[in-house]
Structure 1
Amino acid sequence: MTLIGIISLTSCEDLDGLFGGDGGNELTTAQVVEGLKEALEIGTDSSVNFLSAVNGYYLSEFKIPLPEEIVNAQSAINEYSSIRALFNNSLFSFDGEVEKLLKAINRSAEEAAREAAPIFKKAITDLSVKQAWDILNGIVPDNAKSAGLEDFDSTAATQYFLNETSASLTDLYAPKIMMPWEKI
């Protein structure tokens, strides 16, 4: 769900300049909603381009880590020199194989990111006028719990994307990320 967070952060930055008005003229509801949608689309494009590039996941703060069990096994092997010698001989390097797996998983995520834009664009297109106003007012759309909050929720767009895209993104990413595991 890294992609969701990046899109929302980028979009918020883009919104700053969209609602300043021009010479005191008030914006119509349609203009405000279209401005929000445009900012979200810019954020989507920027985020997808970043994460789908080589090392977009693998060498960034968004790197997908290996399960704790593998990390613990690697630490245990490296802790004991006799076991390490067994697992890291000239024919086979456990550390090398772990790193190959980590890289393959993240490369798979980078590949999946290339296909994520339409999922976000659908969520943006489906955004109603009420939902757009909710996001701009810091209310998570379609969330009765946040509607009564007096505090502005700066994560409203992120939460909207989580609600609208999580299932489709899981369907997109999961099979691709599982492929390297199946080759072990």
Structure 2
Amino acid sequence: MKQCWILVGVLALAGCQNMEAVSPWVDVGNQIAKNAGYDTDSRLARGIKDVLHTSTDRASTSLSQAGAFRLQLPAAARPVADSLRQFGFGSYVDQLETAMNRGAEQAVGEAAPVFKQAITGMNVNDALGIVRGSDTAATDYFRGQTEGVLRRRYQPIVEASLRKTGFYDQYKSMLAVYDQLPIANKPSMDLERHVIDSSMATLFSRIGEEEALIRKDPVARGSVLIGQVFGVE
């Protein structure tokens, strides 16, 4: 029982904000527990994977619902959009923004298998780093592991949605001309990049919010195992 209380104490320390100060104690506690027959590293890894599964599932499910996004045209394009509305062509702007949002919602559905693969590939050292990290350490790790793949998966989905407007080719032709204009520091008019950047920022922000809630109340928001990892028995 003495070793169990040592382990509980170490895991409680893992929930502290100043993790640099307590990291040596986490390592010592892990070694003591291992000597007593407890594989704490594996338990930490399982707990962190639970955090990632829970936070990503909640975030991707909520953002894949119709109406989840409220994306607008990039700032550089809004003067043009305002002019179109003044002259009675607002329906084209509405159609374009609707396509942007539907594309963002559909693209989020592509995140689930990418997230699952990243979680499966996580090792014990990754998990230990997350326990010692900030309130969004798991999200930050996850973004580094998945962002490149997600961008590649998002692009054709966003393009397909924009094509449904019926004037995608005209937009691309206009963009090609705009990109060649000799204007210094001109703002981006690339709608696909705008949708992908905005939707991914929203997705990882939502995952970070879920992670912070889980860390704050790990049992209620996550599971008993997560609670044990973050210091709640």
Query: Normalised by the shorter chain, which TM-score bucket?
Result: 0.5 to 0.7
Return the TM-score normalized by structure 2: 0.51
Return the TM-score normalized by structure 1: 0.63
Tell me which structure has the larger Cα radius of gyration: 2
Which stretches in structure 1 are left out of the alignment for 5+ residues? 1-15, 20-24, 58-62, 79-83, 89-93, 139-152
Percent identity between the two aligned chains: 33
The letter for the 1-side match of 2:136 is: T
Residue 23 of structure 2 corresponds to which residue in structure 1?
none
Q: Provide the C-alpha distance between the structure 2 equivalents of 1:110 and 1:131, rounded to a whole number of angstroms.
A: 30
Cα distance, 1:160 vs. partner? 1.2
Residue 73 of structure 1 corresponds to which residue in structure 2?
80
Q: Provide the C-alpha distance between the structure 1 equivalents of 2:53 and 2:100, rounded to a whole number of angstroms.
A: 27
SS at match of 2:68: coil
Aligned length: 131
Q: Provide the C-alpha distance between the structure 1 equivalents of 2:45 and 2:118, rounded to a whole number of angstroms.
A: 14
1:64 to 2:76 alignment: no
Among 89, 103, 107, the residue aligned to 1:108: 103
Cα distance, 1:101 vs. partner? 1.1
Deviations 1:65-120 (A, max 9, x none): 31223212123455xxxxx2xx31xxxxx222211211111111111112211101
- Give the structure, 1 or 2, with the largest relative contact order (CA under 8 Å, sep 6 or more): 2
The letter for the 1-side match of 2:143 is: L
**Aligned-residue CA RMSD in angstroms?**
2.4
Which stretches in structure 2 are left out of the alignment for 5+ residues? 1-11, 16-32, 168-233
Among 119, 126, 147, the residue aligned to 2:121: 126
The letter for the 1-side match of 2:82 is: S
